[in-house]
Amino acid sequence: MIRAYPGRASVLPGERLVLHVATSSRRFRVHFYRWHDGFEAMHSSSWQAGERARERGAGDDWDWPAYEFPVPAHWRSAVYIAHFEEAEGKLPLSLALGSAAALFVVRGARHGGMLYKLPLATWHAYNLSGGCCYDCDPPASSEPPGARVSLARPGGGIGGPTWGAPDHYDAASRRQSFAHWDARFIRWLARQGYIPEFCTDLDLDADPQLALRYRLLVASGHDAYWTETARGAVEDFIAAGGNAAWFAARLCWWRVHLVEGRFFVCHQGGARGAFDQWWPAGGAGRPEDHLAGASHRHGGAWWDGARQTGGFIVQRPDHWVFAGTGLRRGDAFGADTWPPLAGCACDGAPLDTFERASGKATLSVWADEGGTPAGYQLLAACPLDSRWQALPPREHHAAGEGVHAATLGLFERGGTVFSAGTTDWAQVLADGRDRQVERITRNVLDRLLLY
């Protein structure tokens, strides 16, 4: 058995990557791969002397033996997988590896173009290495108050166990892993000729100016946990004219505090409420709607089993987002995809009504109170009925009350911000059979890379 984690999850070309490794084998070596249109072999290390090390708790620094590897100066910005081989052999290479692998990013130095952000904080929130995570017997923190999870342990995208129900539509990969959403989106980008550079959310926390070098910031899947510094950096980027495309949901749902550079703390509930939920006055008091135009509290979740939806109903077919799709007012898309486009988690703008007969959705009269940006354009909406397993409480409504919907829309505030309102956009896109979803994605990326 061999397991590992990176000392830092992102490096620059020419720097040294530190991997912390524990193994029962007398020796091991590392095979490095770039994730692009699949695995691209980059380098294999020499054999290293193996050392044993014990597992620790989910809130601890595991402090495993450190091994340094040079990152060649010619390596392009990308997501890289370190695959470990022991003297006795190696496991077959797969994005679903629960051990013998670690993920890291090589950053770039481009000016302009696309920056793709990986949700490292969210992966570690659900990382079960050490037996716990935020949703399963979380380790306590007193300062700041909340629960603490460690970055210095296996997992974080690949190489560790992950908490949560299996996906009815994709048993081959776990939610909250790189394989489930991000790898699919990145592979689609590669096949379509897009050449993004990459970062993690921790990079935006460490360097709030990072995004300002780029034209478009992209994220996909489940991107729930953000530090205040990273959020402020993205909002400053947008205010300065940068564009953002969120093919994701539950976006910016929880605030996390980065402690000593290797622990995340999040207060998710107690006698006086959840201090680290973004939207309520008793929490951070900064509704996530202001960042994305939508929020999970107006949407919902369906984690277990097969979902049933009527798809996204088009509200403004003349908008450039729908150019070339052939969609008309009241048409639905994403109802018959695999999986349904309205994903296991959905975000929405607040709606007062959704007329079933006509498919017309109406923004709430109190939308501005909850942070919906001025000028938000509602382009499509998918109503979430009472069968959905979670319909969160929000302003003016208890849980399950009012209209809940996944909404696709955008707004302008310096730059343009697009939100798809669903976690599972990447899966439908990668499936390749829904030409309307693919065309919408191209329209958004091409437009926001230019303007």
Q: How confident is the model at residue 62 (pLDDT cuts 50, 70, 90)?
A: very high
The kind and range of the H/E element at 314 are strand 312-314
Q: What is the dihedral of CA 365, 393, 290, 138, to 10 degrees?
A: 180
Rounded CA separation 102/83 (Å): 7
Residue 16 token pair: 């040294």
Residue 277 token pair: 């939920």
pLDDT in tens, 285-338: 999 999 999 999 999 999 999 999 999 999 999 999 999 999 999 999 999 999
For all residues of the chain together, what is the average pLDDT? Answer: 97
For the chain, percent helix, then strand, then coil, each to nearest 5? 15, 35, 50
Check: CB of residue 321 under 8 Å from CB of residue 379: yes
Determine phi and psi for 200, rounding to 5 degrees. -105, 170
SS3 of residue 397 by DSSP: strand
Determine phi and psi for 239, rounding to 5 degrees. -60, -30
SS3 of residue 6 by DSSP: strand
Domains and CATH numbers, the chain: 2-106 (2.60.40.1930), 115-126+164-450 (3.40.50.880)
* Mean pLDDT within 210-235: 98
pLDDT in tens, 76-111: 999 999 999 999 999 999 999 999 999 999 999 999
For residue 356, pLDDT over 90 is answered with no
The pLDDT assigned to 98 comes to 96
Instruction: List the beta bridge partners of residue 101.
Output: 83
Instruction: Tell me the whole-structure pTM to 2 decimals.
Output: 0.98
For residue 214, give the nearest of 117, 72, 79, 76 by alpha carbon: 117
pLDDT in tens, 432-441: 999 999 999 9
End-to-end CA distance of the chain: 50
pLDDT in tens, 375-405: 999 999 999 999 999 999 999 999 999 999 9
| Percentage with pLDDT > 70 across the chain | 100
In Å, what is the CA distance from 214 to each residue of 53, 198, 220, 369?
Answer: 41, 11, 17, 31
Check: CB of residue 437 under 8 Å from CB of residue 332: no
The pLDDT assigned to 271 comes to 86
* Mean pLDDT within 211-221: 98
The pLDDT assigned to 199 comes to 98
Check: CB of residue 141 under 8 Å from CB of residue 223: no
pLDDT in tens, 245-294: 999 999 999 999 999 999 999 999 988 899 999 999 999 999 999 999 99
Q: How confident is the model at residue 131 (pLDDT cuts 50, 70, 90)?
A: very high
